[in-house]
Amino acid sequence: MAGSGSDHTPHGEQRSVELPTLGRFLRQLREQSVNGCRRGGGMSRMELATLTGHGAGYIAKLEQGDRVTPSAAAVDALADALGCSPCQRQHLHDLREYQPGTGDRAGPPHVITTENQAYADTLTPALAGFVDDAWNVLYANSEYRRVYRHITDPDIANVLLWFFFVPDSRHIMVEWEQEALLTVAWTRALMVRNHLGGDQFKTLLDRLSQSPEFREMWNSGDLALGRHKAEMLVRDLDSHTVLNLRAQVLKWPEASSPLQLYLAVDMNAPPHVIMMGSSFPRPPDTPRTAQR
């Protein structure tokens, strides 16, 4: 394995971050709300109860995780009172029905076929690779591996682990903090929306929790259901240039497959290269109507 192995290994034992819950998120929103009258900021339970027409005891039960499932209308009333963003409102609704682990893929990890590999390789010079629901990197073409150094190392092989445990990531990602936070926030939102969070995710979160920066970002409760801007700045450590990558994560067109295709094209590349990246070949053995 290239690079310093010791840099890749989390040290020390830290308490693992917790899976998202409606109660914790609701309390966080209430304590951070700008709609309240508390001198120190936030909103009291009584204020929230008054604004929503519920008792303070009901709000307390929700926050404490008692077996109380609010109606969709009650969630909307909470979101209105707290001044939630559309993403926060959606997350509250998703948490209302969240069943951790029930959406996890059963059975052994998906096998990357030679056809999958050939397809990703064909997309060079675009950065292309296959990831799963937990951001595990299952295969990457040569350009993906070259630019995102060490991302396929056996003890990493995961986008989130790469951000927090590979020192080169901080040089490669020009806006490292914003991109790391986006990836954490996106993972948090999609984990709840897709009912993920079984053993696979718990193991990943245990490892990530060894990073103080990850714990801070996770515990902030930030959410994302898409990129904050279309392109990201990535430093090519070989050429010492900055790539302006437009990246997409596309569901692989097989209903039973957990595969997602990560695809990134440098918008600063010569026109013929960009055009090549905008007219990708159809996935092998896939009906044209399934193309995304």
Q: pLDDT at residue 3 above 50? A: no
Q: pLDDT at residue 75 above 60? A: yes
Q: pLDDT at residue 283 above 90? A: no
CA distance 146 to 60: 51
CB-neighbour burial class of residue 178 (10 A; exposed 0-12, middle 13-18, buried 19+): middle
CA distance 222 to 230: 19
Same domain for 69 and 201: no
Q: Among 96, 124, 152, identify where a domain stops.
A: 96
CA distance 72 to 79: 11
Structure tokens at 54: 């519920």
Same domain for 278 and 182: yes
Same domain for 139 and 36: no
Q: How many CB atoms lie within 10 A of CB 202?
A: 14
Of 271, 272, 265, 241, nearest in space to 123 by CA:
265
Interval 201-215: pLDDT, tens: 899 999 999 999 999
Give the pLDDT confidence score for residue 245 in this predicted structure: 96
pLDDT bracket for residue 5 (50, 70, 90): very low
Using DSSP's 3-state secondary structure scheme, residue 131 falls into strand
Give the pLDDT confidence score for residue 288 in this predicted structure: 35
CA 92 and chain centroid, separation: 17
Give the pLDDT confidence score for residue 276 in this predicted structure: 46
Give the pLDDT confidence score for residue 39 in this predicted structure: 67
**Amino acid at position 165, single letter:** F
Residues 6 or more apart from 4 whose CB is under 8 A from it?
A: none
How many distinct structural domains can be found in the chain? Answer: 2
Same domain for 182 and 47: no
Give the pLDDT confidence score for residue 2 in this predicted structure: 33
Give me the domain span that covers residue 219.
Answer: 114-290
Query: DSSP code of 173?
Result: B
Same domain for 132 and 72: no
Give the pLDDT confidence score for residue 149 in this predicted structure: 98
Same domain for 85 and 53: yes
Residue 76 is part of a domain; what is its CATH number? 1.10.260.40
Structure tokens at 281: 């070949």
Give the pLDDT confidence score for residue 9 in this predicted structure: 46
Q: pLDDT at residue 280 above 70? A: no
Give the pLDDT confidence score for residue 282 in this predicted structure: 58
Same domain for 260 and 141: yes
Same domain for 276 and 217: yes
CA distance 139 to 130: 5
Residue 130 is part of a domain; what is its CATH number? 3.30.450.180
Q: pLDDT at residue 284 above 90? A: no
Give the pLDDT confidence score for residue 206 in this predicted structure: 96
Of 205, 160, 211, 207, nearest in space to 184 by CA:
160
Same domain for 160 and 269: yes
Same domain for 157 and 127: yes
Same domain for 193 and 55: no
Query: DSSP code of 283?
Result: P
Instruction: Give a yes or no: residue 101 inside a domain.
Output: no
Give the pLDDT confidence score for residue 74 in this predicted structure: 96
Instruction: Give a yes or no: residue 242 inside a domain.
Output: yes
- From 215-219, 227-231, 288-292, the region with the lowest mean pLDDT: 288-292
CA distance 204 to 217: 15
Give the pLDDT confidence score for residue 109 in this predicted structure: 61
Give the pLDDT confidence score for residue 225 in this predicted structure: 83
Interval 84-116: pLDDT, tens: 999 999 999 999 999 887 877 665 567 789 999
Structure tokens at 208: 């990530």
Interval 153-189: pLDDT, tens: 999 999 999 999 999 999 999 999 999 999 999 999 9
Give the pLDDT confidence score for residue 291 in this predicted structure: 32
Give the pLDDT confidence score for residue 136 in this predicted structure: 93
CA distances from 69 to 22, 94, 97, 189, 194 (A): 9, 12, 8, 19, 18
CA distance 213 to 2: 25
Instruction: Give a yes or no: residue 86 inside a domain.
Output: yes
Give the pLDDT confidence score for residue 253 in this predicted structure: 74
**% of the chain surpassing 70 pLDDT:** 85
Give the pLDDT confidence score for residue 101 in this predicted structure: 76
Same domain for 71 and 45: yes
Q: How many helices (H) and strands (E) does the chain have?
A: 14, 5
Check if the beta carbon of residue 289 is closer than 8 Å to that of residue 280: no
